[in-house]
Chains A and B, each alone.
Chain A
Amino acid sequence: MNKVMSNKWIIALYVLPALLLIGILIFIPLILTGYYGLMDWDGVGAMEFIGLDNYIAALQDLKFWDSAWHSFLLAIFSTLSLGIYLAISLILASKIKGADLLRKIYLIPMLLSSVAIAQLWIKVYNPSNGMLNYLLMAIGVENPPAWLADTSIVLYAIFIPILWQYAGFYILIYYAALKNIPESIIEAARIDGASPFQIAYRIKLPLIMSVVKVTIVLAVVGSLKYFDLIYVMTGGGPNGASEVMASYMYKLAFTSKDFGYGSAIGFLLLIITLIVTVIVRKATATKEEIQY
């Protein structure tokens, strides 16, 4: 078997199917999207080459920058909430009673489809019949906000289910990483007289730092290209108040029938995400890798 695996041709042959799939489904469409961005095209009729006009228009499009700002806000909130997930994982991993059950409960939102989550939270947020406003009125709030209709609140109201949706995923990752830390290290620290807080902060956290970095990248990238809940819950409304880059792209391409412009926005979204990823990776880079 070793002989087989050291044959470069065999390796190439094994990689080929996956490479073909990725090429056809990801890289070629990526390049095509950039190319369509150079066109004036309604998605149905003939294309007309217009150079960089779409990209220039996008850079001057206030609605695009608004949606980009909303995406960045989501990225910031997702990153901040990682701290909460980390705290929860630390508690879960410290052998408390029922940790197993709790871990499964935290994971449930991740098992639901985005549309189901969206429908659930639409019901929760319903201004007249929703659970949230019902509770607020029960404790004496007279005019509870219309969560998804108020342009100053709607964005944050949607962030909550988005963060809730992914909480289980990050908790699961952190929990697995924490469980991987050898018991002997913790024990040694304990014998040396370290408090639980010191163990968490000085021992466990540095040891799983590489995982934390990965989750930061995942959270940022995932937020920048986020689409599902926003599309179902508000469609980017009212009047663009909850529009993010991906929903704006979809709207331009499929509703306004401006495929060229939509493609340009899509390509810009890719570039922005790439740049941010590089920045995040640079910012979190450290020289030493901790081995255990």
Chain B
Amino acid sequence: MTHNTMLMEFDQVAYTYPCSPQPALQGISWQIPQGKRCAVIGQNGCGKTTLFRLANGLYRPQRGVVRFSGEPLRYNRQALSQLRRQVGLVFQNPEQQLVATTVEEDLSYGLCNLGLAAREIEPRVQQTLQDFELTPLADYPVNYLSLGQKKRVAIADVMILQPTLLFLDEPTAFLDPKQTRSLRQLLDRIQATGTTIMIATHDLNFVYDWADWVFVMNHGQLIMENTPEDVFCQRHTLEDLGLGTPILVDVLDAIAHHTDDQGMINQRTIQASLRGLNQGIPSENV
């Protein structure tokens, strides 16, 4: 793959939190391809969040280089402000990102920081309110929103700047199935505008369903990257990493195993084998 199709690149990046005995990232190298739906999976503490914060210029790598569109990141105020306009980051906890008191004011915050005039801000805020179905909540105080709504606002806050690369840290955490579905539709619409999306998540079913490219991390290192089909067929590696496989992959495997020569499927043995499988796997929302 050539340089110009890679939106962001990490080259031998290492980062250790202050006062922490272990490095969060140990010389990781990876590249985010443009236009793909990317997902990072890995256990808690494997360095996903650190990676995202490095990408947003919130942390500075102690070793190695982060490149955006081929250019190494610079850490002065102006360059960072420019970077954060193009690389959006949605935190896991929306509470940490909502700063103003009403939805509309919160949306305008990022635009005001760019020093835009009110007549430029207004149409963009109105458009974003519409795109994210937030118009009825425009003048609503942020405190009284539900968690799902807060998440929606947090994503809208970042998307209003029209970034080319969007990082979402655990977007499905705390969401119910219906909210997760509407998040998916939202992501599809965002992707349709040409934004590359990168998600860190524990929800393997979501990854299998949504992503085109999957990164697997462990202990601050990139273990593998591939299409979801190729990643999830490596059952043993994933189980060693404590990750397991999406339920659909399990079912397909079980069907393949328990189909006899005549092509008959024995449902009972399939169910028994699936139950056995799920016991060994850290709980996934089935």
Partners in one complex: no
